[in-house]
Amino acid sequence: MAKYSIFSLVLNSLTRHRHWRPAWRKAEPRPEYDVVVVGGGGHGLATAYYLAKEHGITDVAVLEKGWIGSGNVGRNTTLVRSNYMLDQTVPFYESSLKRWEGLSHELNYNVMFSSRGVLNLAHAPSQLDVFTRRANSMMLNGVDAEMLDTDGVTRLVPNLDTSPGARFPVVGGLLQRRGGTARHDAVAWGYARAADRQGVDIVENCEIEGFLREGDRITGVVTRRGEIRARKVAVAVAGSTSQVMALAGIEKLPIESHVLQAFVSEGLKPALDTVVTFGAGHLYISQSDKGGLVFGGDLDGYNSYAQRGNLPVVEDVVSAAVAMFPCFSRVRLLRHWGGLMDMSMDGQPIITKGPLDGLYLNCGWCYEGFKATPASGWTFAWTIARDEPHALNAPFRLDRFRNGYALDEKGRGPYPGHH
Ligand SMILES: Cc1cc2nc3c(=O)[nH]c(=O)nc-3n(C[C@H](O)[C@H](O)[C@H](O)COP(=O)(O)OP(=O)(O)OC[C@H]3O[C@@H](n4cnc5c(N)ncnc54)[C@H](O)[C@@H]3O)c2cc1C
């Protein structure tokens, strides 16, 4: 497969772009693989890529129910950051952010990673104290963090209403300059293409409907396109985790599926060059390279497997956006959609060997899964290849919920919908 470069671009332009090859092969499933990865989202594709690249395991198939990019990897609001607080979470997300910084070169695919900064607004002195604590924890873990006062926020985001008369006056904020955005579906396509180049089979329209077992050991999967045996089966199906794991007889997991919506406005001239999150409610907003404002807020608030949301949340999220940026009040909303979120009991993921022999599980991503894609794939591949966790994902084991080692960053308790 040709390397993307200025030369291939010029060469193809001379032949009117008629000779570009597909980014990945349309592979037919074979009856047996070393590793089958279920789910062709960001995490499944990254896992397959790192299995091949880092561990030399190339006899791998990624089985995707729909098409590549049809799940959350192509539905999210694209925020990437590592502004966490716990000693277990900061190193994991920071390792992901470091991978983002070199990802376009590594994959030879422009994932449009943009370090435009992520600013969390504080609207009360007590909230500023909480952010200062988080900034200190980040810096103790070697991660960049800056505290801004109101003037600093105004200079950074002039279109934000920081006047004393604002609906929610701004007293300052926590800024991580290295955070930002990436183009979500380019990430799926980039990992798919890079995994394919390593020999991985990417099989679309191949839903798994059951597991092959010998006693308590998983030995393969049953798909719409026949049975496939595998030494190891890795499940990375995000919001469908409970349904897929039920096929393996695992009826109870500490996660729930919820709908989260994303919103895009009509295109505007450049008006917002950082990511801003609202501190008085739940809203995060940025402006895409095409000019649309991309924003999101809270979950729809009930368990669901639907990939569409409801109007009251539209009103709630849009009113928060207008409270922050009154200058956007006449902007028209262009599109909105829903994604299926795998919300865990403490807001952090599960990346683990088990819970059955031959089976490996990656799930529970809540709002954090897109930014985690590189680290999730890298550590999951390590766990699958070596049958033990890497130090980065060792805290994210399944039995932490039984043993009481919850990683509750926000202190919100065992309520998946609240993380
Ligand atoms: C609206 C929205 C906004 C978000 N914003 C952000 C954000 O700004 N930053 C951030 O870090 N995270 C964000 N997230 C979360 C993030 O998108 C997810 O956590 C992450 O994409 C999940 O991992 P994935 O990419 O592997 O999931 P997916 O892309 O959902 O991949 C799972 C795949 O499994 C497939 N599958 C399901 N069942 C089967 C089966 N039986 N057989 C075969 N395949 C199957 C699905 O079709 C799907 O393609 C957001 C999510 C949503 C919905």
Phi, psi of 365 (to 5 degrees): -80, -15
Peptide bond into 164 cis (omega under 30): no
pLDDT of residue 176: 98
What is the atom index within ligand 1 of the atom nearest the CA of 337?
A: 1
Pairing of strands 217-223, 118-122: unpaired
pLDDT of residue 137: 96
Choose the residue to mutate in 43, 47, 72 for probing ligand 1, maximizing ligand atoms within 8 Å of C-beta: 72
pLDDT of residue 99: 98
What is the atom index within ligand 1 of the atom nearest the CA of 63?
A: 43
Nearest CA to 52 out of 375, 381, 358, 379 is that of 381
List, chain by chain if needed, residues with CB within 6 Å of any ligand 1 atom. Answer: 38-44, 63-66, 70-73, 75-79, 207-208, 236-240, 244, 260-262, 296, 339, 341, 365, 367-371
Nearest CA to 245 out of 344, 377, 360, 348 is that of 360
In sequence order, what are the residues at sequence separation of 6 or more whose Cβ sits closer than 8 angstroms to the Cβ of residue 70?
Answer: 64
Buried b (16+ CB within 10 A) or exposed e, 188-210: bbbbbbbbbbbebbbbbebbbee
Name 258's bridge partners.
Answer: 303, 341
pLDDT of residue 18: 93
How far apart, in whole angstroms, are the C-alpha atoms of residue 284 and residue 391?
Answer: 31
Q: How far is the CA of 64 from the centre of ligand 1 (A)?
A: 12
Choose the residue to mutate in 50, 209, 237, 307 for probing ligand 1, maximizing ligand atoms within 8 Å of C-beta: 237
DSSP 417: G
Quote the crossing angle between the two packed helices 184-197 and 89-107, to the nearest 10°: 70
pLDDT of residue 308: 86
Confirm if 90 and 138 have CB atoms less than 8 A apart.
Answer: yes
pLDDT of residue 93: 98
Nearest CA to ligand 1 atom 51: 76
pLDDT of residue 281: 87
Three-state DSSP at 244 gives helix
Q: How far is the CA of 200 from the centre of ligand 1 (A)?
A: 20
Choose the residue to mutate in 36, 76, 183, 300 for probing ligand 1, maximizing ligand atoms within 8 Å of C-beta: 76
What is the atom index within ligand 1 of the atom nearest the CA of 208?
A: 42
Beta strands in 105-254 (DSSP E): 118-122, 146-149, 172-176, 180-181, 201-203, 208-214, 217-223, 226-235
Name 278's bridge partners.
Answer: 283
pLDDT per residue rounded down to tens, the chain (419 residues): 678 999 999 999 999 999 999 999 999 999 999 999 999 999 999 999 999 999 999 999 999 999 999 999 999 999 999 999 999 999 999 999 999 999 999 999 999 999 999 999 999 999 999 999 999 999 999 999 999 999 999 999 999 999 999 999 999 999 999 999 999 999 999 999 999 999 999 999 999 999 999 999 999 999 999 999 999 999 999 999 999 999 999 999 999 999 999 999 999 999 999 999 998 888 999 999 999 999 999 999 889 998 888 999 999 999 999 999 999 999 999 999 999 999 999 999 999 999 999 999 999 999 999 999 999 999 999 999 999 999 999 999 999 999 989 999 988 888 888 88
pLDDT of residue 1: 65
Q: In this structure, what is the dihedral angle of CA atoms 138, 142, 143, 144, given to the nearest 10 degrees?
A: 100
How far apart, in whole angstroms, are the C-alpha atoms of residue 54 and residue 407?
Answer: 28
In sequence order, what are the residues at sequence separation of 6 or more whose Cβ sits closer than 8 angstroms to the Cβ of residue 182?
Answer: 78, 80, 100, 103, 111, 112, 113, 114, 370
pLDDT of residue 58: 98
Q: How far is the CA of 305 from the centre of ligand 1 (A)?
A: 12
